[in-house]
Structure 1
Amino acid sequence: MTGTTPLSDLLWTRGYMDPTWIRRFTSAGRELSPSRRVWRGREPARHLPESPSDLDAVDLLTTGAGTLKLPELFAAAQTDAMLVMHRGSVVYERYLHGAEAHTPHFNASAAKSYLGLMAATLAHEGLLDRTATASAYVPELGGTAFGEARVDDLLHMGTQVSYAGRAYDKPTEAQRYFAVIAPQLRPFGYAGPTSIREHLLTARPTGAPGTEFCYENGNVEALAEVLRRITGLSTSALLGELLWSKLGAEEDAYYVLDSDGVEAACGGFSATARDVARIGEMLRCGGALEGRQVIPERVATTITSGVPDGYPRRVRFPAAPEDSPATLSYHDLWWVLNDPYDSYMASGIHGQRLFVSPRLELVVVHFGSQVMSPAVPPAPLVQAFLQIGVHLNSA
């Protein structure tokens, strides 16, 4: 039986386990790769009210090593930034390791959820048919695992895929994707695809779409291409038009690009913590900010309740052990916690989170540069966020 190749055995991925290299990449992506800005628009930045709270003293969790507080959590998560909003006000904001409030930070796979908002909005407006196959919009994807899948399958990680004849292995394929978009990450002798579109064309189905959950970047890149075809806009321009220019953002965001000038939609997005918090607050308020609807209310309010029939109601989080119980749902590229507070989140590698909990009236943004290794246990970010929300609601 062939097991998963440990990332430590892939010589060309060791940079992902060096915290100094990780932080360089998460904070300076546009210095390392071509990029395209997401314009904040002409409107003045929307003020974020402040009501500071001393969260550093709050007991978050009890572990074998004692009581965990925010400073210990930050050390475990290699935290670069954390911002907490409660009832519409910023109650806590902290930057570490040279990060600053105005500096865009890598969002990693949290960007998938932002694309999900765009797709759901276009579907709500009748411009995107969830039941259509991707190849109906992008004919050259015909015959590939993603082209024969429906838009809804892409939005729920519902494809089964093999790339270039390889047996599917998630860690290996994640690193191969990085090699596609970043030449400096390619191993010696690399002869694979050099653009996202070339990469998608090597994908072949290994099972019927819409029957199993498989967390795979290609679903998001295929969906992004669908959105580009139906709108005629780049992913950066579309995000700017539908969302970023309506938030009252303080800064432009940006996507890194592949060799074709196409955005890495599944994880190449960077923005400030304050502006990502504006996304969360807009969602917490039913898609509106200061009385103005930014996205349709139904798109915002059905994130936790709209998993279609036929898709698994419970799925395993990618970082969870293989034998862990399934505790999450997945809808329109958002992770749904199924907790008493209607919480959901956008989540990315190295500790990137946008956490929204409507019943706790809570929004949390966390940016990190945590090493990804079996020898380094993931920091308990979600548990800490929930405890912060419970504390703030009881204060």
Structure 2
Amino acid sequence: MAGMPSLADLVWARGYTDPVRARCHTTSGRELVPSRRVWRGAGGPSPLPGASPTPEQATVGALDGLTFAGPHQQPVTLPELLGLAESDALLVLHRGRLVHEQYLHGYEPHVPHFNASAAKSYLGLVAAVLAHEGQLDRGAQVAKYVPELAGTAFGDAQVDHLLHMGTSMSYAGRPYDKALEAQRYFAVVAPRLRPYGYSGPDSIREHLATARATGAPGVEFRYENGNVEALAEVLRRVTGVTTSELLSEVLWSRIGAEEDAYYLLDPEGAEAACGGFSATARDVARLGEMLRCGGAAGGRQIVPEAVASTVVSGAPDGYARRVRFPAAPPDSPASLSYHDLWWIPNDPYGSFLASGIHGQRLFVSPGLDLVIVHYASQVVSPAVPQVPLVQAFLAIGRHLGG
């Protein structure tokens, strides 16, 4: 089980000091605020080779004999590792076949699970497709598409800066603090989280309008939700449809999903695009397998191969080439890259991943023929050590590859 943070750490943890409370949020988000479905399409689900017909028959144990490094480099088994990470699900696909499927803490395969910031990567993929098709100009100023954002940190940046977290800003004249701004963002989206006497923005768009640049765009990597929300508004203006409709049209209705996904909505009815997305583990695995196969699934091209193949190779030089996870210690090496809202470990296998705050991950490794979906409800606190899951994923891939 995850450790408990100290009382002095409660603000940073945003109240999620108990995995049970975090799990209630990650599996029941649409019961707390309004939501909009991401339609799975009219056709039947695509087969997932190796998938069990019922949760009780899920494939468990195939990898239990492996040993991994724990948070303090201690040897741990897979069940121990999943316990430390407060895991809800683990799916492993190797060469297109589901070789390990496991659900914990009562979580079930048909229930959409909060993806948190992993959703940023899915939106980045949609934006890359639209840019490839000529509907979106990466080099254009955001204000060209969203005139109301002119004069803000986001409106004066280019679309490509949003895709690489390349803006520097402060909100409403406050000194920028990432943890505090994350709390204020959630207060905008979910009125129930607002403190007594709250007088801030009532919608995501109002929140974005208070952002002022504190530096030139394209110079510094700053992982900030506002970049993704501004990008989502750009895509809504370009296509004329909601974020939910767009994700369904470009991806969800074409990958053979079993279940609808959904987005949480702000009080104005706009999707919380930076992290309010939920979907089943199996359907996220289908998305990852499509990307592993160069954008193809079910005998047809879902995403242009030129887009799928450049998630890793297209990473720009400069501010997005050497970065670290937001939760990583500031003295840790900046060894990752970041491209179109995807994290790139820069390993020998061409891997890339989408990652969310409570331990949600979609890991795709073409060189290892590997796709892994991990869902968790881990406590968010510097008092709780991060579990080295990416290293474990690579070890699983090397084991399966012999």
Does TM-score exceed 0.5, indicating one fold?
yes
Residue 366 in structure 1 maps to residue 379 in structure 2: no
Looking at structure 1, the residues matched to 342 and 12 of structure 2 have their Cα atoms a distance apart, in angstroms, of 30
Aligned residues: 389
Looking at structure 2, the residues matched to 14 and 260 of structure 1 have their Cα atoms a distance apart, in angstroms, of 24
Looking at structure 2, the residues matched to 357 and 8 of structure 1 have their Cα atoms a distance apart, in angstroms, of 39
Q: State the TM-score, normalized to the length of structure 2.
A: 0.94
Q: Does the 8 Å contact 2:164/2:320 carry over to 1?
A: no
Residue 196 in structure 1 maps to residue 204 in structure 2: yes
Over 3 Å counting, the alpha-carbon distance change for 1:159 and 1:62 in structure 2 is closer
Looking at structure 2, the residues matched to 96 and 274 of structure 1 have their Cα atoms a distance apart, in angstroms, of 15
Looking at structure 1, the residues matched to 330 and 195 of structure 2 have their Cα atoms a distance apart, in angstroms, of 28
2:309 counterpart residue number: 301
2:101 counterpart residue number: 93
2:17 counterpart residue number: 17
Distance apart, 1:194 and its partner CA: 1.4
Residue 113 in structure 1 maps to residue 121 in structure 2: yes
Which shifted more, 188-197 or 330-339? Answer: 188-197
Give the letter for the 2:49 counterpart. Answer: P
Q: Does the 8 Å contact 2:178/2:224 carry over to 1?
A: yes
Residue 273 in structure 1 maps to residue 320 in structure 2: no
Over 3 Å counting, the alpha-carbon distance change for 1:140 and 1:324 in structure 2 is same
* Local SS of the residue matching 2:15: helix
Q: Does the 8 Å contact 2:22/2:377 carry over to 1?
A: yes
1:3 counterpart residue number: none
1:41 counterpart residue number: 41
| Counterpart among 64, 67, 72 of residue 75 in structure 2 | 67
Over 3 Å counting, the alpha-carbon distance change for 1:312 and 1:12 in structure 2 is closer
Distance apart, 1:10 and its partner CA: 5.7
Which shifted more, 187-196 or 209-218? Answer: 187-196
* 1:116-150 deviations in Å (ceiling 9; x for gaps): 00100000000000000110000000000000000
Looking at structure 2, the residues matched to 22 and 186 of structure 1 have their Cα atoms a distance apart, in angstroms, of 18
2:266 counterpart residue number: 258
Give the letter for the 1:210 counterpart. Answer: G
Distance apart, 1:183 and its partner CA: 1.1
Point out where structure 2 has 5 or more consecutive residues left out of the alignment: 1-5, 52-58
Looking at structure 1, the residues matched to 205 and 352 of structure 2 have their Cα atoms a distance apart, in angstroms, of 30
Q: Does the 8 Å contact 2:167/2:222 carry over to 1?
A: yes
Give the letter for the 2:209 counterpart. Answer: L
Give the letter for the 1:43 counterpart. Answer: G
Looking at structure 1, the residues matched to 14 and 168 of structure 2 have their Cα atoms a distance apart, in angstroms, of 28
Distance apart, 1:60 and its partner CA: 2.1
Q: Does the 8 Å contact 1:15/1:22 carry over to 2?
A: no
* Local SS of the residue matching 1:218: helix
1:104 counterpart residue number: 112
Give the letter for the 1:198 counterpart. Answer: E
1:231 counterpart residue number: 239
Looking at structure 2, the residues matched to 127 and 161 of structure 1 have their Cα atoms a distance apart, in angstroms, of 28
Give the letter for the 1:157 counterpart. Answer: M
Structure 1 segments of 4+ aligned residues over 6 angstroms from their partners: none
Residue 147 in structure 1 maps to residue 155 in structure 2: yes
Q: Does the 8 Å contact 1:116/1:332 carry over to 2?
A: yes
Identity %: 69
Give the letter for the 1:203 counterpart. Answer: A
Residue 176 in structure 1 maps to residue 205 in structure 2: no
* 1:272-299 deviations in Å (ceiling 9; x for gaps): 0000000100000000013200011111
Q: Does the 8 Å contact 1:79/1:367 carry over to 2?
A: yes
Over 3 Å counting, the alpha-carbon distance change for 1:316 and 1:14 in structure 2 is closer
Give the letter for the 1:50 counterpart. Answer: G
Distance apart, 1:311 and its partner CA: 3.7
Looking at structure 2, the residues matched to 7 and 387 of structure 1 have their Cα atoms a distance apart, in angstroms, of 36
Q: State the TM-score, normalized to the length of structure 1.
A: 0.96
Give the letter for the 1:70 counterpart. Answer: L
Over 3 Å counting, the alpha-carbon distance change for 1:13 and 1:38 in structure 2 is same
Looking at structure 1, the residues matched to 368 and 274 of structure 2 have their Cα atoms a distance apart, in angstroms, of 29
1:321 counterpart residue number: 329
* 1:78-102 deviations in Å (ceiling 9; x for gaps): 0011100000000000011110000
Looking at structure 2, the residues matched to 195 and 235 of structure 1 have their Cα atoms a distance apart, in angstroms, of 16
* Local SS of the residue matching 2:98: strand
1:379 counterpart residue number: 387
Over 3 Å counting, the alpha-carbon distance change for 1:147 and 1:393 in structure 2 is same
* Local SS of the residue matching 2:354: strand
* Local SS of the residue matching 2:312: coil
Distance apart, 1:15 and its partner CA: 2.4
2:3 counterpart residue number: none
* 1:150-209 deviations in Å (ceiling 9; x for gaps): 000000000001001110111111111111101111122211111100100000000000
Which shifted more, 180-189 or 97-106? Answer: 180-189
1:209 counterpart residue number: 217
Distance apart, 1:56 and its partner CA: 1.1
Residue 30 in structure 1 maps to residue 30 in structure 2: yes
Residue 218 in structure 1 maps to residue 226 in structure 2: yes
Q: Does the 8 Å contact 1:347/1:354 carry over to 2?
A: yes
Looking at structure 1, the residues matched to 12 and 202 of structure 2 have their Cα atoms a distance apart, in angstroms, of 16
Q: Does the 8 Å contact 2:110/2:259 carry over to 1?
A: yes
Measured on the aligned residues, the alpha-carbon RMSD in Å equals: 1.6
Q: Does the 8 Å contact 2:349/2:368 carry over to 1?
A: yes
Looking at structure 2, the residues matched to 151 and 310 of structure 1 have their Cα atoms a distance apart, in angstroms, of 17
Distance apart, 1:63 and its partner CA: 6.9
Looking at structure 2, the residues matched to 382 and 65 of structure 1 have their Cα atoms a distance apart, in angstroms, of 14
Distance apart, 1:18 and its partner CA: 2.1
Matches within 5 A, 1:77-88: 77-88=85-96
* Local SS of the residue matching 1:122: helix
Looking at structure 1, the residues matched to 376 and 337 of structure 2 have their Cα atoms a distance apart, in angstroms, of 24
